[in-house]
């Protein structure tokens, strides 16, 4: 007789325990009273605040906790903001150039971030440099010929985007075989592999961000990172031209033949 009463009590007790558990685990819907109607309160999840730690070049990040490096990155990034640089033209160039550059970089196994190099090299200014470098990738005549480009009085293939990109990929891949670091490769592209090797040995340092280099080379990768940031996240950098922005977005989905 006692067993008959115990079993129902046990079942009821179990149900009460389970109800209490679910009461704590199920989310509670918050409501507010407005015009005699119950209106759900919608909670918006904000994106994390932007930090320098989010920036990288070819998945190589800046060393954290170094005030000099952080300050330099912030200063360079600020100089690439829309108000300073007026980036409409750069977005149009990206929309035109990237569909040709990206498949070639991929074919040579080179990180996609190197597509920003022509924008830094020749997108900010056109023509031939005082030293004689020209074209999308700013090749010197001798280096251009070394990697298969024709440069003479009748023809200058440095100004052919497809051919000069292929030549640049050959050079970049060769540099990576020497330095085994994409940031050092970018720096060596700017200053030359001989000078870069000399500085690495002299300083006994192979982290680009911690090296002391000439002003142009020392800021080169910072410029590449800034170019990447303003093109990948234009709205948070003050860019408002929606038409050019759509064109740029399309550039990342088009594959050159």
pLDDT tens digits, residue range 126-144? 678 878 899 999 999 999 9
Q: Does the pLDDT at position 251 exceed 60?
A: no
8 A C-beta contact, residue 115 and residue 101: yes
The per-residue pLDDT of the chain, averaged, comes to 81
The residue with greater pLDDT, 220 or 2, is 220
Does the pLDDT at position 162 exceed 60?
Answer: yes
Classify residue 73: in a domain, yes or no: no
pLDDT at 36 over 60: no
Average pLDDT over residues 41-58: 69
**Residues 6 or more apart from 64 whose CB is under 8 A from it?**
52, 53
pTM of the model: 0.75
Q: Kindly state whether residue 189 falls inside one of the protein's structural domains.
A: yes
What integer pLDDT is reported at residue 3 of this predicted model? 47
Residue 188 within a domain? yes
Q: What CATH number is attached to the domain comprising 206? A: 1.10.530.10
H-type alpha helices, the chain: 2-25, 67-79, 82-85, 88-107, 117-118, 141-146, 161-179, 182-191, 193-203, 215-218, 220-232, 242-251
Per-position DSSP letters for 16-63, written without gaps between them? HHHHHHHHHHSPPPPEEEETTEEEEPPPPPPPPPP-GGG-EETTEEPP
Which DSSP helix (H) or strand (E) runs through 133?
Answer: none
Q: For the chain, what is the largest distance between any 2 Cα atoms, rounded to a whole number of angstroms?
A: 112
At residue 26, does pLDDT exceed 50?
no
User: Does the residue 16 lie in any domain?
Assistant: no
Q: Does 93 score more than 60 pLDDT?
A: yes
Say yes or no to pLDDT of 120 above 70: yes
pLDDT value of residue 141:
96
Does 23 fall in a domain?
A: no
What count of Cα atoms within 13 Å lies in the side-chain half-sphere of residue 173? 14
pLDDT of residue 127: 73
pLDDT score at 55: 94
- State yes or no: pLDDT of 51 exceeds 60: yes
* Residue 150 belongs to a domain: yes
The answer to whether residue 246 is domain-embedded is yes
Does residue 47 sit within a domain?
no
Region 83-90: mean pLDDT is 68
Report whether pLDDT(225) > 50.
yes
- Please give the residue range of the domain that contains residue 86: 82-251
Q: How many domains does the chain have?
A: 1
The percent of residues above 90 in pLDDT, for the chain, comes to 56
């Amino acid at each position: 007789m006692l067993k008959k009463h115990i079993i129902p009590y046990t079942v009821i007790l179990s149900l009460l325990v389970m109800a209490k558990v679910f009461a704590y685990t199920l989310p509670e819907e918050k409501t507010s009273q407005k015009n005699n109607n119950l209106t759900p309160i919608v909670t918006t999840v904000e994106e994390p605040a932007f930090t320098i730690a989010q920036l990288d070049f070819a998945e190589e990040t800046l060393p954290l906790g170094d005030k000099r490096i952080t300050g330099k990155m912030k200063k360079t990034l600020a100089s690439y903001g829309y108000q300073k640089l007026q980036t409409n033209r750069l977005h149009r160039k990206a929309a035109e150039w990237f569909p040709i550059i990206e498949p070639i970089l991929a074919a040579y196994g080179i990180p996609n971030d190197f597509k920003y190099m022509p924008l830094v090299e020749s997108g900010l200014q056109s023509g031939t440099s005082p030293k004689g470098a020209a074209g999308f990738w700013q090749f010197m005549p001798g280096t251009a010929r070394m990697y298969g480009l024709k440069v003479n009085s009748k023809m200058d293939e440095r100004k052919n985007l497809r051919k000069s990109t292929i030549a640049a990929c050959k050079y970049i891949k060769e540099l990576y075989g020497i330095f085994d670091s994409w940031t050092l490769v970018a720096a060596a592209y700017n200053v030359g592999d001989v000078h870069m090797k000399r500085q690495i040995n002299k300083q006994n340092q192979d982290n680009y961000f911690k090296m002391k280099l000439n002003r142009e080379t020392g800021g080169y990768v910072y410029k590449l990172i800034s170019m990447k940031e303003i093109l990948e996240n234009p709205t948070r950098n003050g860019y408002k031209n929606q038409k050019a922005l759509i064109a740029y977005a399309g550039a990342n989905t088009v594959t050159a033949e």
